[in-house]
A and B are shown apart, each in its own frame.
Chain A
Amino acid sequence: MSDKFTLAGTEFGSRLIIGTGKYRSYDEMKTAHTATGAEMVTVAVNRVPLDGSSESFLDHLDPKMKILPNTAGCYDAEHAIRTARLAREALETDWIKLEVIGDPVTLLPDNEQTLDAAKTLVKEGFIVLPYFSDDLIMAKKLLDAGCPAVMPLAAPIGSGMGVQNPSNLRIMREQLPDAVIIVDAGVGVPSDAAIAMELGADAILMNTAIAEAADASAMGLAMNLAVRAGRLAYLSGRMPKRLYASASSPIEGAIT
């Protein structure tokens, strides 16, 4: 079964996108990344230290992976736009994961500012992958603004709570059949990722679920398998749910 994941004209062999934050060591990060089979990885833009202690973080990433800079830490469209422009200049990529956060405790997105920033960045030729709360109306607006995909959260960043509103995701999938939907944030365990894929997500983006696992490499492999399993399940057409039983073994012919 040929089931390629195409995003903004680029084909990926993996539907799992991962982050680089919160790992205990570079070695652990590299091993975990390899286990995930992911082909794209997010990084954050940050001020260089002024004391000469700067080292090149990017040198610790598998060079075959596509680097996707994010606008984490931005609380309004203006900062996100400036951060995106800096990232593009430094990495020579038009791709940007757009994050505009509304609140430091929940890290929930400011959808309004996200849309503002998306419109500007799309006009400047960026390939904008917006992180937002799982709202169908906002998804439509972001897609209309020219984003090649939308990235609804499963739950707050780093919360590990899994998909909090599966119905919303299902509705989004059904109402936007041609959109690329990437569930981003809040995944905790592989079953969370599988559920999101079974609901019809095209891909999953996660960071903490792997980085904060006791064995990041094993969890990376588990996530790899879960995303594949969930995708296969979605394509396989699940059995219907029933309120009552439907016997699997013959009713007739049992001994009495």
Chain B
Amino acid sequence: MKGNENPVLSRLWAYAIWAVVLFFVINLFAMIATVVVNSLSTRWLGTWLPPGFTTRWYFSAWKEFQLDDVLVVTFQIAAAVAFLSALLGVPAAYALARRDFPGKKLVMLLFLLPLLVPPFTYGIPLATVLYKSGLGGTMWGVIVANLVPTVPFVVLVLIPFIEQIDPRVEAAARVFGAGTVRLFIYVLVPLLTPGILAAVLLVLMRTMAAFELTFLTSGPGSQTLVVSLYYAVSAAGVRAGQSVDAMAVIYMLTTLIWLLIALRFVNPTQIVARAKQTH
């Protein structure tokens, strides 16, 4: 290959790439649309589109799966996880961003590991410990288990945000006699609001969609929506498919609302690229 680019070839190459992307996106949307259409259909067998539409599956799913209870539990767990992970994560991120101390690399590794090891691998020993200690199956057990990946996540998301704040602002606050607590409340938290908001929203989203940890540690009264959905799908045949799909749509809506809110504050690549700053 030398010098000039072949315009026809590079045009074809570009079209081929866009075709692949388009194929992927079409299939993705068709998959989501099937769920929505099925949840709204009276019955749907062997045709392109169902013969009639109805919303009654939503009411029956709501009652059948006790979705009001499940939703309340889901929001309680997600809110507790978001709050506690910020409470533990923000100070740790501040210390890691501002101080160089012996063993800092080791602490960073400690925070990276729960993000690199998939939930299922550490979830089984964790669930064993939680069941032995009596927390297994309770809401607190689920909250504690979900905090394991989210605390390091908050720390890693916030470190670059804190590094951007001019240390002289803090020094000025210290000169005027602010202790660490006042420094946090009056200087750091207001300056860090965008970062904390992004981190908390991402944690909320992750907790809503986090299946494995909740699945391994939850009991009858502490299932989140996604775990109930899993049980409903795996017991399909017992219940009408439309009813399960109605529940899937409700799950989709609750997750997508958070996604839309989160996208106002974060870049989509941030949702996956969590370990980028560190390697």
Q: Do chains A and B stick together as partners?
A: no
